[in-house]
């Protein structure tokens, strides 16, 4: 994908802060530190448009990245482990769910899973939620560069079994 002018547009925590131009949105969901922000940077061939960190839970707002005024990558806060307080985790969970339920410009959900680990209970809950949303989605097994190429197929099969995919 050739991208000429990607830009960070806004970090939001409520519907009144979301962009209003009607562009389609590709939404990235997954647990903390699974690589959602890195995915954005990789797809647009930039090193640091989306801020990344090795510390889980750094993304605490919904980040909208405008890709050449054609669509948005929307980087949601991760779920699961992070150094946020329980109160902050609840707050983030509420505005994230509100976004997923109310936003009508979502065109695709990309559900990122760390290929190195079996899906967690939170992963299964998010997967079930995404399936029930009736929105188009794909599951992306991320971090495959961290395992031997000969093991990738077996890890993917494990993920399919855990998420109840039978192909």
Question: Tens digit of pLDDT for each residue in 71-90?
Answer: 999 999 988 766 677 788 78
Are 113 and 119 contacting, i.e. CB atoms less than 8 angstroms apart? Answer: yes
Are 120 and 80 contacting, i.e. CB atoms less than 8 angstroms apart? Answer: yes
- As a dihedral over the C-alpha atoms of residue 117, residue 110, residue 16, residue 101, rounded to 10 degrees, the angle is -80
CA distance 71 to 94: 25
Distances (CA, A) of 158 to 6, 19, 142, 153: 36, 38, 14, 9
Are 158 and 115 contacting, i.e. CB atoms less than 8 angstroms apart? Answer: no
Among residues 93, 125, 85, 96, which one has the least CA distance to residue 14? 96
Q: In the prediction, which pLDDT does 21 show? A: 97
Q: In the prediction, which pLDDT does 167 show? A: 46
Which tens digits make up the pLDDT trace of 14-65?
999 999 999 999 999 999 889 999 999 999 989 888 887 666 555 679 999 9
- As a dihedral over the C-alpha atoms of residue 72, residue 44, residue 46, residue 64, rounded to 10 degrees, the angle is 10
Q: Residue 117 corresponds to which tokens in the numbers above?
A: 């680990």
Among residues 53, 45, 78, 83, which one has the least CA distance to residue 63? 78
CA distance 131 to 121: 15
Poorest-pLDDT segment among 100-114, 126-140, 153-167 = 153-167
CA distance 157 to 164: 10
Mean pLDDT for all residues in the chain: 89
């Amino acid at each position: 994908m050739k991208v000429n002018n990607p830009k960070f547009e806004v970090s939001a925590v409520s519907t009144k802060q979301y962009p209003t131009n009607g562009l389609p949105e590709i939404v990235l969901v997954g647990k903390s530190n699974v690589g959602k922000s890195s995915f954005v940077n990789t797809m647009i061939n930039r090193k640091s448009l989306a801020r990344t960190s090795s510390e889980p839970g750094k993304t605490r707002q919904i980040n909208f990245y405008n890709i050449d005024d054609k669509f948005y990558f929307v980087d949601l806060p991760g779920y699961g482990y992070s150094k946020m307080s329980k109160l902050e985790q609840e707050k983030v969970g509420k505005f994230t769910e509100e976004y997923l339920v109310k936003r009508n410009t979502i065109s695709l959900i990309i559900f990122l899973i760390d290929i190195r680990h079996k899906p967690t209970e939170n992963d299964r809950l998010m997967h079930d939620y995404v399936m029930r949303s009736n929105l188009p989605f794909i599951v992306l097994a991320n971090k495959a560069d961290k395992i031997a190429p000969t093991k990738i197929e077996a890890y993917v099969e494990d993920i399919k079994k855990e998420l109840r995919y039978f192909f």
